[in-house]
Amino acid sequence: MWKAGLKWMFLIMGTTIGAGYASGREIWQFFGYESGLAILLFTVLFIISCYFIMKISYEKKTVHYLPVLETLLGKKLAGLYDFMIILYLFSVTVVMLAGAGAALEVFYLPFWVGIAVTVILLVFLFVWDIQGMVSINAFIIPLLVAGLIGALLSFTLKYGQPIIIDWREQGNWPSAFTFTALNILPLVAVLAAIGKEIKHQGEIWIASLGSGILLGGLTFLYNEILSQMASDIVLYEIPLFAILKNYHYIMLILMSVVLWCAIYTTAASGVVGLTTRFRKKTSMPLWLLAFIILLVMVPLTTFGFSTLVAVLYPLYGLLNLYMLAALLLYPIANRYKW
């Protein structure tokens, strides 16, 4: 039970810790000053969301996300969300591929070579079906989290100031809802894919509590350090590099690897959501389906996505908030079942 629960925990964290989170940009955008209460609320909301997504997936023995959507939203709204999740996963994975190509340029690899390497590694992942994704997360995510925590604690010990929380000034608490909502769609897409693999209710508790507490603690530490570096962050596209500016070049290389790993796991999560959704419509193996989907995406990495993001992301935000509300109300609407 513990081994399986930890596997699902790392899968959740791999889905959530994308390049935006690992770089610090996402955390600074949503939190910042007066956010201690917001991060505490996020931790609680995240645990609740993961628990009920996994619980529904476990009860329905799901292999993709549509049954979970139908349970939460009904069949009519589930159809709309199905389309939006497909569009969301596709667009985010395209952006991740482009990001992976750019990240590997640090190692003097041409942009297209970086994308090709990432695509090959993603396809290779699915040779072992869904277990490949689960296994790689169990390997990469502990290293990724350890790298982030190590860098943050190192900065705290060398340059950091004492962390003091004034609970009277916590005006940013509503950000807890928007930050949690941001992660709902990919979590539904990925966790529903492993519903059939969950064997025991205890696995759900381990995965939900473990991922929520770890992410909450990491987010709090990261945000406090970013708050201390606020004047420098405006000068950096990647806030993490503002923290590491006084470190040796080797540290920047290592953290670039961490960022690429975050991009890779996010792209893998997107491909999992898409392939498991369509696998029943074809007899081809999962790795071949993943290869075809990625092949369609590659040419799109050259396009500018600012317009796409500007139009789609506010819509995703609204839809995600509705999904979060449905998850929070689920135990009330089904009070005799949980």
Q: List, as one string, the DSSP characters of 2-58.
A: HHHHHHHHHHHHHHH--HHHHHSHHHHHH--TT-HHHHHHHHHHHHHHHHHHHHHHH
pTM: 0.88
- Tell me: the pLDDT tens digits for 303-325? 644 455 555 566 676 678 888 88
Mean pLDDT, residues 330-335 taken together: 74
More confident residue, 88 or 309: 88
In the chain, % helix, strand, coil (3-state, to 5) comes to 80, 0, 20
Neighbours of 164 (CB within 10 A): 7
Block residue for tokens 């769609």? 185
**What band does 266 get if pLDDT is binned at 50, 70 and 90?**
confident
Distance between CA atoms of 307 and 314, rounded to whole angstroms? 12
Return the percentage of the chain with pLDDT > 90, whole number: 28
pLDDT, mean over the chain: 85
Distance between CA atoms of 84 and 310, rounded to whole angstroms? 15
Predicted pLDDT at 160? 64
Q: Sign of the C-alpha dihedral, residues 226, 227, 229, 232?
A: positive
Predicted pLDDT at 244? 78
From the list 48, 51, 13, 7, the residue with the least C-alpha distance to 201 is 51
Task: Assess whether pLDDT exceeds 60 at residue 336.
Answer: no
Classify residue 164 by its DSSP letter. -
Predicted pLDDT at 305? 46
**What band does 243 get if pLDDT is binned at 50, 70 and 90?**
confident
Return the percentage of the chain with pLDDT > 70, whole number: 91
- Range in 111-115, 141-145, 220-224, 299-303 with the lowest mean pLDDT: 299-303
Residues 235 and 35 sit within 8 Å (Cβ to Cβ): no
Block residue for tokens 């406090």? 224
Mean pLDDT, residues 169-182 taken together: 85
Distance between CA atoms of 111 and 212, rounded to whole angstroms? 35
Mean pLDDT, residues 162-170 taken together: 70
Task: Assess whether pLDDT exceeds 60 at residue 98.
Answer: yes
- Range in 19-33, 81-95, 209-223, 240-254 with the lowest mean pLDDT: 240-254
Predicted pLDDT at 311? 58
Predicted pLDDT at 47? 95
12: tokens are 């959740």
